[in-house]
Amino acid sequence: MRGFCLIFILFIFHSTVDAQFWKKKTSSKEPLVQGAPEQPVSHIKSHLTDISGWVLNNNNKWISAKNIIRNPDPKYALPDRVLGLDNISEMEIRDAQLNGKTVGVLIFKYLIPKYEFPTIKEGFYIGKCLDFYVFPAEKILHVLPDTLTNGSTNSVNFEVIVGGKIENYEQKDVDYEIATAIQRISGNRIINPQNLIIGVMPYNLDGKDHVKFKIIKTFPSEKLYQPYLMDDIKGQLFNKSYFETKRSSFSSFFSGASIMALIDTPLGEEPTDFQGFFIKGVREYERGDFYNSITDFTNAIRLQPDQKFYPVYAYRGNAKYKLKDPEAALFDFNKAVTLKPSDKQYLPLWGQVFLNRGTVRYFMKDLEGARGDWQRAVELGVPQATEYLKMYFK
């Protein structure tokens, strides 16, 4: 652990409050969100759509497009080259269980060229596809941009356990497909044929922080993936093309799921400081032990009552809500919203507190309070708040 700073990087307030604790039968009019995962493949821990593609064209100029790395030569624009050299519509992270341990599931959604008559290339249309990669959860800690140096390239070998491709995923049960692959690899019924390397380079341009990243789909053979981890090759990863997003978005995407790397870690000795109690409380929370998590968060606060670290109050409020104590949860959320982080990249995470407080207020019949909190969450970059406003305040 890299001290108190890394706690913030690892902080994940993804478990928003769950309305199902309050009504025996929920309706489509209720803002439902999930808590700790109970299924073989969890709900979405984090997702990223704000992605740009960059490529160095034949005129030696960089050109970009949303979600697509365009073809460097414009004459290859039609028909099936319209999707460029590569494209990503959305990235997702989930988690799952494999032989009693937590593993990560990284998903890339993208578009593929299709033909109704492939042989003669007639009837062109665009299809949807996703690739999934199941990997050791601790690997996620190595790709966090906050732990890297600006202008320095890092390549992360995800050591994929099993992966797969699902075409027309909107018409299929994605959770079932991924869970089946995990079960089959667990039973040694299949051999994993693929691996994944992600190259990452945070940088600053004109006072704005960004992250370049490269998705390298390779194979489990060390001879095939090892070159991408070598310094001379890493330095060339972004010479001709790459994907890019805001550093805050990239950081939120991976840090939003990083707690799963800690879930299976033995608790060890009883903590004695703020950091130790906070981390222990988070892990208890993720395991569904809300009573003990509240005790740990309270112990952390008692040790440093003046600590302006909002996640400890946010987590404790969430745990109290899980235990059907909305008034106590509201007290902690009220405290958390007063502790605005100084680093702007953490504002979307802080915005989740407003999302959760708004949900508590909604079920306490404080509709104006709920509307105000969700509007504030929207301002802070929490997309789910926009959905709530559209659904419950038409």
Please give the mean pLDDT across all residues of the chain: 84
Name the percent of the chain lying above pLDDT 90.
48
Tell me what pLDDT residue 156 has.
93
Query: Higher model confidence: residue 384 or residue 318?
Result: 318
**Four-CA torsion 282, 286, 287, 288, nearest 10 degrees:** 100
Query: Higher model confidence: residue 20 or residue 81?
Result: 81
Q: Are 55 and 67 in contact (CB under 8 A)?
A: no
Q: What domains lie within the chain, and their CATH numbers?
A: 46-246 (no CATH), 259-392 (1.25.40.10)
Query: Higher model confidence: residue 34 or residue 263?
Result: 263
Tell me what pLDDT residue 35 has.
36
Strand (E) or helix (H) holding 374? helix 367-379
- Per residue in 110-145, pLDDT (tens digit) is 999 998 888 888 888 999 999 999 999 888 878 876
Q: Are 83 and 30 in contact (CB under 8 A)?
A: no
Tell me what pLDDT residue 80 has.
67
Q: How far is CA 119 from CA 122, 151, 153, 352, in A?
A: 8, 46, 42, 50
Q: Residue 223: count other Cβ atoms within 10 Å of its Cβ.
A: 7
Query: Higher model confidence: residue 29 or residue 296?
Result: 296
Tell me what pLDDT residue 76 has.
57
Q: What angle do CA 295, 299, 301 make, to 5 degrees?
A: 120
CA separation for the pair 111, 345 (Å, rounded): 30
State pTM to two decimals: 0.70
Q: Lowest-confidence range among 87-91, 165-169, 316-320, 379-383?
A: 379-383
Mean pLDDT of 382-388: 87
Q: What is the DSSP string of 128-185?
A: EEEEEEEEEGGGGGGS-GGGS-TT--EEEE---SEEEEEETGGGS-HHHHHHHHHHHH
Tell me what pLDDT residue 17 has.
56
The answer on pLDDT for 277 being more than 70 is yes
The answer on pLDDT for 301 being more than 90 is yes
Tell me what pLDDT residue 262 has.
66
Query: Higher model confidence: residue 96 or residue 11?
Result: 96
The answer on pLDDT for 146 being more than 70 is no
Mean pLDDT of 266-281: 80
CA separation for the pair 177, 380 (Å, rounded): 35
**Four-CA torsion 349, 336, 383, 96, nearest 10 degrees:** 60
Tell me what pLDDT residue 134 has.
96
- Which bin fits 384, alpha (ψ -120 to 50), beta or left (φ > 0)? alpha
Mean pLDDT of 198-226: 92
- Per residue in 6-52, pLDDT (tens digit) is 444 444 444 455 443 344 334 444 553 333 333 478 888 888 999 99
Query: Higher model confidence: residue 42 or residue 246?
Result: 246
Tell me what pLDDT residue 74 has.
67
Mean pLDDT of 245-262: 78
Instruction: Give the highest mean pLDDT range of 32-41, 73-82, 305-314.
Output: 305-314
- Nearest-Å Rg of the Cα atoms of the chain is 22
CA separation for the pair 239, 354 (Å, rounded): 41
CA separation for the pair 308, 8 (Å, rounded): 12
